Amino acid sequence: MANLLVTGGAGFIGSNFVHYVVQHTDDHVTVLDKLTYAGNRESLAGLPVDRVRFVQGDIADPSLADRLVSEADAVVHYAAESHNDNSLHDPRPFLDTNIIGTYTLLEAARRHDRRFHHVSTDEVYGDLELDDPKRFTESTPYNPSSPYSSTKAGSDLLVRAWVRSFGVRATISNCSNNYGPYQHVEKFIPRQITNVIRGIRPKLYGRGENVRDWIHADDHSSAVLTILDKGEIGETYLIGADGEKNNKDVIELILELMGLPAGAYDHVTDRAGHDLRYAIDSSRLRTELGWAPSFQDFRAGLASTIEWYRANEGWWSPAKDATEAFYATKGQ
Ligand code: NAD
Ligand code: TDX
């Protein structure tokens, strides 16, 4: 049994991780979350109070970070500004949270010699051509494209430096695109599902050829627990489930599963600097640590995600109008 400090635990992947930990381990969790527009306490509703404690606060607050890190056995660091489109509009919060916030936590982990796991993204590697036979591996050079991905790359490099210079016991994981419950309606899949529920046509950026490598959030959680348990200090592990799909195919599948014709969507203004393709080779995690994903069927996983959004309109509805109003100002 361990005490985990989970930063960003009221966000999409962090909250799925907390649910997963409660179901699959005896660990106790303290969530540290600022509750930005992306955080939602309702995502943690129903969890046992004797297992999960919630603290509202900023990871970049040194005294709060110091106290909570000192009370934990291990830190699992999810908190971030996470949306590429927002980073193109206003990069500053991405620097404050992803860079300074990570630095603040690392300093606390260093002072108290705490195990640290840093959750990052495949976007640090830039993008691939559609026909490139190679996929990202742990040795692919960093080449981030957006303010979001460059701040995540910066945070990864801080973790590596704190391992080497100060002996912090840290690991890093870089995961591909997640889907599942509790994802904010600004993101691609929930935006289209909730558009259809609201009678709005789904919105595809550009021609929709861009490929993302989809993984269910529960598979991301099981991978992070595996790395916490068996990962080698100082090492990086790529997390992916061989789920490459282009955006057009994903929109058409959502429309089919929701009973609408395949062409019932709009092409809208493309994202500036839009990464073409991400693809993960997760061989290292599978062969060295013995991890494997459970969700192999994207169609079934997407269908249950659609059901979740249909059943939980009260969770996503308050954010929907403001999100669409923001996109409308960008022609998206
Ligand atoms: P999210 O935006 O849904 O959640 C982020 C959470 O962090 C929110 O609850 C927010 O309130 C909190 N937060 C933001 N700034 C904070 C601060 N300064 N102090 C404390 N809390 C703060 O993001 P997500 O999609 O769940 O992503 C979580 C992590 O996983 C991020 O580090 C992201 O880079 C990484 N990641 C995401 C994906 C994906 O597909 N979404 C894929 C790979 C990696
Ligand atoms: O309305 C849309 N239409 C559209 O075509 C939106 C919101 C997105 N898109 C496209 C852009 C991307 O090619 O869909 C794809 C996925 O977009 P996002 O959901 O914004 O995800 P992405 O930019 O790929 O980044 C996600 O995966 C990696 C997460 O948001 C990051 O936090 C994570 O690091």
The answer to the question of residue 292 being in a domain is no
Angle at which helices 217-230 and 12-24 cross, to 10° = 60
Query: Is residue 66, in this structure, part of any structural domain at all?
Result: yes
Residue 36 Cα distances to 12, 138, 186, 238, 244, angstroms: 12, 31, 14, 27, 30
Instruction: Please state the domain count of the chain.
Output: 1
Residue 204 maps to a domain: no
Q: Is 312 in the pocket of ligand 1 (CB under 6 A)?
A: no
Distance 296 CA to ligand 1 centre (A): 24
Residue 325's pLDDT is what? Answer: 97
CA dihedral 43, 53, 47, 285 (to 10 degrees): 70
Q: What is the CATH number of the domain that holds 50?
A: 3.40.50.720
Report the interhelical angle of 313-329 vs 298-311 (nearest 10°): 100
Q: Whose CA is nearest to atom 3 of ligand 2?
A: 204
pLDDT for 228: 98
What's the pLDDT at 276?
A: 98
Q: How far apart are CA 218 and CA 179, in angstroms?
A: 9
* Burial (Cβ within 10 Å: 0-12, 13-18, ≥19) of residue 137: middle
Q: How far is the CA of 101 from the centre of ligand 2 (A)?
A: 23
Domain membership flag for residue 41: yes
Spacing, Cα 42 to ligand 1 middle (Å): 16
**Which residue's alpha carbon is nearest to atom 28 within ligand 2?**
177
Give per-residue pLDDT as tens, 290-300. Answer: 999 999 999 99
Selected catalytic residue, list 33, 122, 186, 213: 122
> Is residue 253 included in any domain, yes or no?
no
On whether the CB atoms of residues 20 and 222 are closer than 8 A, the answer is: yes
> Is position 156 within any domain?
yes
Catalytic residue list contains 50: no
- Is 101 touching ligand 1 by the criterion CB < 6 Å? yes
Domain residue limits at 20: 3-178+215-239
C-beta of 284 in contact with ligand 2 (< 6 A): no
User: Does a structural domain hold residue 19?
Assistant: yes
Asked whether residue 142 is domain-assigned, the answer is: yes
Q: Which atom of ligand 2 is nearest to the CA of 85?
A: 20
Neighbouring CB atoms inside 10 A of 186's CB total 21
Ligand 1 near 215 CB (within 6 A): no
φ, ψ of residue 80 to 5 degrees: the values are -170, 160
pLDDT digits (tens, 9 = 90+) for 136-160: 999 999 999 999 999 999 999 999 9
Q: How far is ligand 1, taken at its centre, from the CA of residue 177, in Å?
A: 12
Q: Ligand 1 centroid to 217 CA: how many Å?
A: 13
Task: Give the pLDDT score at 60.
Answer: 99
Is 148 designated active site?
Answer: yes
Q: Is 60 in the pocket of ligand 1 (CB under 6 A)?
A: yes
Pocket residue to mutate for ligand 2, from 187, 200, 255, most atoms within 8 A of Cβ: 187
Question: Would you state the pLDDT for residue 1?
Answer: 83
Both ends of the chain: CA-CA distance in Å? 47
- Position 114: which residue type? R
Q: Which residues of the chain are modeled with pLDDT < 70?
A: none
**What's the CA dihedral at 250, 331, 93, 233 to 10 degrees?**
20
What DSSP letter does each residue of 90-155 carry, written as one string?
--HHHIIIIIIIHHHHHHHHHHHT-EEEEEEEGGGG----TT----B-TTSPP---SHHHHHHHHH
Residues 6+ apart with CB under 8 A from 178: 12, 13, 214, 215, 216, 217, 220
Tokens 């540290």, residue located? 32
Which of 37, 77, 188, 302, when mutated, tests ligand 2's pocket best, judged by the most ligand atoms within 8 Å of its CB? 188
